[in-house]
A = this chain, B = another copy of it.
């Protein structure tokens, strides 16, 4: 079996040119012009590869290679949309490598036993509307009635209007649901530097991390920065600073894959000569196990409460969002491991800190993911890159995995 790396790279370059932004990177928001051109381009490649193409009610593109033995299909693919100034590989790699793997398998082994499908997920990033996983949620039937009328982009266009502009009928969304899928395998870039720092070229995802978003409000007293001695202050920012450090410490002590990030922080009144009276910040924390996630949340709440009490500060902690970890299916992990060992490829088991379509599709079929390294851990930016040899290796192991599952 031969992976055509030249073809793979050319297709990645072609997709990256669609929605190219002036300062580098590409932007292909859901149902936009660049998005439509990109979908057409992949459909064209699918037809060249003689796959049977179908677009579903939300615009997911499916390319099918029939299986000689029938049965439920094995699916591979990823999302076609991007963040602003997105890189060349996020999403695109899973589509291009998935198609390349199916072409390589057919060339080497002919028709599979089970059907093989290549899936272009219409949206995963949430860049245009304030919702994400639109494509995979449609596939598992999880889009609520009326949702398309509720979400608006920054220009005020509803998701339903945007669908109609692309010839899609929002009332038909339930028709996109599939209950006949056997498995979904996605190749993705890691978007972090765990593999690179371990010098391992292939990651097998064990779990997509669960997470909690908290909003922490620290209340002190705004005072004159010149006239209020240090010992008479209730400085909300000094208190919040202690919390920011303690939160990072909590996750560091817990060790991988626990992460906790204070990403947003706002000071009030935010004046150079006024002691901060209030600070509001967010915490994004993630872990692979539900229990560990809850323990980390409790730990962080506890330390913030202690620090606030010690300093006489007020504290409110609100949970903005909570999602459980999603384990990858053992069968698919085993298939990936077996595929890698066929090629003597060393793998590393790791948790995905980022969300992926696989976590949504897990409610309808067996799912699994392979990661290739991200150079310098960079992603969601024009610098996003993976070595050619790793792209080839990832595609090859993906193909062998599909072979295990479908032949």
Contact = CB atoms under 8 A, between A and B. Distances in A.
Contacts of A226: 191-192, 209, 211, 259, 284, 286, 352-355
Interface size class of A (residues with CB under 8 A): 35 or more
A394 to B, nearest CB: 16
Given A241-B244, A272-B213, A273-B261, A251 B230 contact: yes
B248 A193 contact: no
Contacts of A261: 225, 235, 273-275
Contact of A262 (B193, B263, B276): B276
A210 B252 CA distance: 41
A248 B236 CA distance: 12
A355 B224 CA distance: 11
Contacts of A240: 241
Interface in A214-268: 223-232, 235, 237-238, 240-242, 244-245, 248, 251-252, 256-265, 267
A177 B13 CA distance: 72
User: Which one of A227, A265, A353 has the highest number of Cβ atoms from chain B below 10 Å of its Cβ?
Assistant: A227
Contacts of A286: 225-226
Contacts of A248: 230, 235, 238
So how many copies of this chain end up in the complex?
A: 2
Given A244-B238, A248-B235, A259 B228 contact: yes
Contacts of A271: 263-264
A191 B227 contact: yes
Contact of A267 (B238, B264, B274, B379): B264
Contact of A232 (B263, B274, B377): B377
A169 interface: no
Nearest to A261: B225
A194 interface: yes
Interface of A: 190-194, 197, 209, 211, 213, 223-232, 235, 237-238, 240-242, 244-245, 248, 251-252, 256-265, 267, 270-276, 282, 284, 286, 352-355, 377, 379-380
19 contacts: A190-B227, A192-B227, A194-B232, A223-B377, A224-B379, A225-B261, A225-B286, A225-B353, A227-B354, A229-B256, A229-B257, A230-B251, A230-B252, A240-B241, A261-B274, A263-B272, A263-B273, A265-B270, A272-B284
